[in-house]
Structure 1
């Protein structure tokens, strides 16, 4: 086994990694500028056909580290039954969907067909997709083994197997499944194993199934303890469709003196800059598509405090040193913990306190844990400010401005106007009218939903789900809750997130409407809105938790 450290590797663009023109064109179209350390280390090795054993935590950009080489190794001339060239094994359905979406985006122009298969949903639809021919299968171990035994996943053409978050799969009890799956794959294949730790069980799998692998270790950078203590870290869970509105709302409430907003791609930088300017902020874009003169002019205005928001990609903001930044915003959750640390390090300088804000999509919630480990500080998960919160914040801001104006003096000319009108109107009404003229009406704002974003559905099914969601919401507001007994607990390593995810995904219930979740050794009790209880019971009768069919019924001790 060869050990390869990532630290000495110089920064380089994707073009230097050996990727072909089709893959590079896709990355350019998406606005990606710079690979992360795990991508720089792992991509060239996999393109060269080497087995890889990579220690990399969630949030380091490892999905692209194995997805891009898979695209380059696609079989374009094979018949449907031999077309599948890669199998990616992941621990959870959420990660399966995330990886499939990433591969789709990277390989869209190449016509790549990647299918996620996982438990907890009907297998018939997956079989129909697989029969049409698929390039890459992304699967949870239990469902992958099910398809292999049914002979609906064909492994004879497999060139590469990826084990993503291998330690998590072992923790979930999939060791035997992994061995059974790997035994069914061709002997001559490339294997890439990614794990947050290199525990003895991981090393045993590597010894059995990897051939002279390159060992890559990516250690997340940590903020110094004193530095981290000065940065308040807060995250908001927001569906992608509402991120721009949520950012505007959060900034209106936070009122940063000076902020840097980080986006993943140039396209997002440009779109967000336009939106924030339309909202009344002085926003400037900074990315690799600008000339050096343009960058210099943008930075001069930002340092001179004539710009409220600097909206930038990581590459463009590298080395940026501005002491007056009060807020850093991760509009996109960064691909790597190192990137997160670098970003939030732009605030809290010169002994001042700073705030780091992250807008995470529901499925990215678990990445926040890796950021907590990297910084050694908690990330507070807060609700997106409501319209009422916005109104209260604006009232407080107006009051502060009025106090400052009164203390500054120089109001004689304005006093004469008020005195002249006071013979006709109440002075309180005059002052209120003056404030109303300069106010931004919060009543025009709409509430921003929280919870998991809806997957694309048939329009009729979507309308039914909207009606059901409204009924459930009315029931929850009315206070009616029903306790459900779930026949799985700590013995099966069930966590609250497992139960929330299963109910939200299978029954279409907004996670925010669920009540108390109590986990015992052999069972759990979950409170759901009474209006949704029957729907949850029907959906969960067909679902699995931790890969097992679980009894779910109304709790006999009270509901």
Structure 2
């Protein structure tokens, strides 16, 4: 290790020689804050409840202590550690980390997830493993088959626990934890700490140490690691606005988040039609299709990934520079997870959100939860785009002038100089270079709009703090909708009102009677807006959960 550095080293954390050697070989010199706090606690056997953003080094914070206690070249068959993660991609990444760190210990690590042949996983379990890294669904399947033995597990890790709850794995987690020894050590990491997760921690962790690591803030006077910007865009202009912004930003690689599979497919087709190299990623694709998409993105043959939240969970793309929210996320926690994918390991990143004029309050809520300022801007104009493209052309020409391979073109310039002024020759060359680089003019102006704060689409002046004045819902037919979440899920009338007004053009005054029952709720909305409300609620989360939404049959 580098003994000349000022900061703490991994050696000071008491790690065994095999692990220190692996870290040295991999080039790691100094632990991150989460590693510095968590590793000694987990090595000492404490249960741990850690809140840390994605990209802060959580994997090493739990994998190194697990390997610290692992018997070198162990021969036992049953695993001594179980790591539960939300997605297949994260299972693979965590397994690879265990392999890298525990190579000199002969650590046997098995990733277990759906979408892969179960026979191969069964054979590996039968042969014997030390650490199982699993998605909850497949882990429970193997447990019920009797193939996954948990009676020797000494440590259970829940990584990105809030994501697992959001994906509906709460019951699976409870069943798996109940099948492990009562005296096990339990380590839980999460980017956010919703109430449901805190309740799970109280049931299954024993006097846990609690640590909270915020994403590192930029030093005073410097630029933030993740530049966060929102553009106010009418819904109809979003595809064109996204293309304009991507042209201006010129990302190395970007993820564009959409709410639904249909939106992913439609937007991918639109972007490819505009000349971008976009690939879709959503839950309707097979694992083989998803693997091919990721391979194309990592190899550089694609530079845009258009994805849903569920499909993109657990992805770690090193060259990623931009995250784009095609819609304002309905849950602030989703925004936190999304922007956590850029700005890692000292790299700068950009988070962009396309917000509709009615979504001002949602954006303010996200700012409060994320603890960051989101700069609101208008969409770049045609003039802005032309200026940006000329800048790129100028930069390319300057790079060429600094090179040393221009002599073979000298005869062309000298010949033309006999007939034209040198400035005219240069202008013609720049024009050709500009057009060859895709610099053709874009004459499509995008409407410049702002947030609705003073007036709301002709509904009258706003009240205090931009709220609309009280008014009665005009008479007219109403539709009663069934929502498959009720008191059991912690649903209150305000949750339904917030979800509907946040995802549609309706206001609280447009919503009629609301009935909350044990397992479902009924809500009245104007008949003309019923279909919009149904499709919007189906595509979003209410209190972190998906709900069945339909017209009430009664």
TM-score of the superposition, structure 1-length normalised? 0.46
TM-score normalised according to structure 2 size? 0.47
Kindly indicate whether structure 1 or structure 2 has the higher relative contact order, using CA contacts under 8 Å at least 6 residues apart. 1
